[in-house]
C-alpha cells in the first residue's frame, strides 16, 4: 500500500486565500492585488511589505479562531471519501512551532479518519531559535523513508522530494505552474 504525505495549508485547506480575504484585505483596504495575483509564495513583495510583516499577519491568522474554523477543501474531502482507504496517509507541513499544535488539531479533526500521523518542518521564525534537523520536506522524507508520494502546493518542495525518491503531485495554486483541478492532479 502506497503512503501519501499531504501538505496541509493550501492543499487540504484554503489558508492563503482565506487569510488574504479575511485578514489582509480587511486590514489593508488600499491593496490592489487579488488572490489570483499572488504569483509568489510568500507574496510579501507583491503586497509591498516586508517578509516579517507578511509572516506576522499570517501567523496571527493561524493562531486565531479563523484557522480553527477553516473548512477542508471540498475536493480533498471528496477524494478521501472515494480513494482514501486505498492508501496510507501522513501530514507533512511547514508551520512555525507556535502554530503546529493548531495545525495538527485541524488535520485530525477533518482528516483523522485517514491521516494518522502529523509531521512538520518548523518554518523559520527569528524568535524561536530552533534546532534544524531537516532543511526542507525532501530531506525529511529522505530521513523518514516511508512516503511514496508528496501532495504539495510549492514546486520547490516537489523538487526536494524528488531528490529523496518521492513522487510529487503539485496542487494548482496561483504561485505554481500546475494546471487543472485538485481532482485532476490527484489521478494516482
User: Tell me: the pLDDT tens digits for 150-167?
Assistant: 999 999 999 999 999 999
Q: Which of 44, 50, 70, 74 is nearest to 175 (CA)?
A: 44
- Cβ contacts of residue 145 below 8 Å, gap of 6+? none
Question: Domain residue spans in the chain?
Answer: 3-14+71-185, 15-68
Instruction: With beta carbons less than 8 A apart as the criterion, state whether 174 and 39 touch.
Output: yes
**Is the previous residue joined to 39 through a cis bond, with omega within 30 degrees of 0?**
no
pLDDT higher than 90, residue 172: yes
pLDDT in tens, 176-188: 999 999 999 998 7
Indicate the pTM of the whole model: 0.95
What pLDDT does residue 126 have? 66
Q: Which of 17, 107, 118, 42 is nearest to 68 (CA)?
A: 107
Mean pLDDT computed over every residue of the chain: 95
What pLDDT does residue 83 have? 97
pLDDT band for position 31 (cuts 50, 70, 90)? very high
pLDDT in tens, 69-109: 999 999 999 999 999 999 999 999 999 999 999 999 999 99
User: In the predicted model, what is the mean pLDDT of residues 27-55?
Assistant: 95
Instruction: With beta carbons less than 8 A apart as the criterion, state whether 83 and 89 touch.
Output: no
Instruction: With beta carbons less than 8 A apart as the criterion, state whether 94 and 121 touch.
Output: yes
Q: Which CATH class is domain 3-14+71-185?
A: alpha beta
pLDDT higher than 80, residue 48: yes
Question: On the CB side of 114, how many CA atoms lie within 13 Å of its CA?
Answer: 22
pLDDT in tens, 116-153: 999 999 987 766 777 889 889 999 999 999 999 999 99
Amino acid at each position: 500500500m502506497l503512503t501519501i504525505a499531504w501538505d496541509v495549508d493550501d492543499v487540504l485547506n484554503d489558508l492563503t486565500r482565506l487569510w488574504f480575504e479575511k485578514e489582509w484585505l480587511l486590514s489593508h483596504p488600499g491593496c490592489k492585488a487579488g488572490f489570483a495575483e499572488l504569483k509568489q509564495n510568500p507574496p510579501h513583495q507583491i503586497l509591498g511589505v516586508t517578509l516579517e510583516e507578511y509572516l506576522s499577519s499570517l501567523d496571527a491568522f493561524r493562531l486565531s479562531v479563523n484557522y480553527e474554523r477553516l473548512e477542508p477543501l471540498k475536493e480533498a474531502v471528496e477524494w478521501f471519501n472515494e480513494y482514501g482507504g486505498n492508501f496510507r496517509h501522513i501530514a507533512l507541513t511547514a508551520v512555525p512551532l507556535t502554530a503546529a499544535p493548531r495545525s495538527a488539531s485541524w488535520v485530525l479533526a477533518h482528516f483523522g479518519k485517514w491521516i494518522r500521523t502529523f509531521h512538520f518542518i518548523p518554518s523559520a521564525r527569528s524568535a524561536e531559535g530552533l534546532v534544524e534537523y531537516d532543511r526542507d520536506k525532501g530531506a525529511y522524507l529522505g530521513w523518514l523513508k516511508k512516503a511514496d508520494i508528496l501532495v504539495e502546493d510549492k514546486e520547490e518542495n516537489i523538487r526536494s522530494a524528488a531528490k529523496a525518491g518521492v513522487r510529487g503531485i503539485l496542487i494548482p495554486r496561483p504561485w505554481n505552474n500546475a494546471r487543472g483541478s485538485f481532482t485532476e492532479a490527484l489521478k494516482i
